[in-house]
């Protein structure tokens, strides 16, 4: 299995986001904590996209006939996951504001 640049960048952004969020929460800096949460989401999306690219690459290498269908399903899954993550973050922030 190949590892895409998206996966590597995603892991980096997720790690940086975790650090920012933790520091922001520890010092009471909501802006930094929110920025960290956003970076984590960005990292998750990048990793998911990297998985899509890796899967498509591997499947095409194997001459898998279902590449188009699998790629479509993976794209839909990534889009749904990103949307759900965004909504969860918005919900959490709204709850914190109350």
Over the stretch 30-55, which tens digit does the pLDDT of each residue have? 999 999 999 998 988 888 888 888 87
Q: Is the pLDDT of residue 64 over 60?
A: no
Give the range with max mean pLDDT: 11-25, 46-60, 82-96: 11-25
Q: Tokens 């914190």 correspond to what residue?
A: 96
- The pTM score is 0.60
Lookup: tokens for 44:
């998750």
Q: Tokens 């498509």 correspond to what residue?
A: 56
Q: Tokens 């998206």 correspond to what residue?
A: 6
Question: Residue 20 and residue 28: Cα distance in Å, rounded?
Answer: 12
**Mean pLDDT throughout 6-17?**
90
Lookup: tokens for 18:
């975790």
Q: Which of 83, 81, 89, 91 is nearest to 33 (CA)?
A: 89
């Amino acid at each position: 299995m190949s590892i895409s640049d998206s996966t590597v960048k995603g892991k980096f952004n997720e790690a940086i986001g975790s650090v920012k969020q933790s520091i922001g929460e520890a010092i009471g800096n909501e802006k930094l904590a929110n920025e960290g949460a956003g970076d984590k989401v960005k990292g998750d999306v990048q990793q998911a996209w990297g998985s899509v690219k890796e899967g498509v690459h591997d499947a095409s290498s194997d001459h898998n006939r279902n590449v188009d269908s699998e790629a479509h399903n993976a794209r839909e899954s990534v889009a749904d996951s990103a949307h759900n993550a965004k909504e969860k973050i918005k919900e959490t922030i709204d709850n914190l504001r109350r």
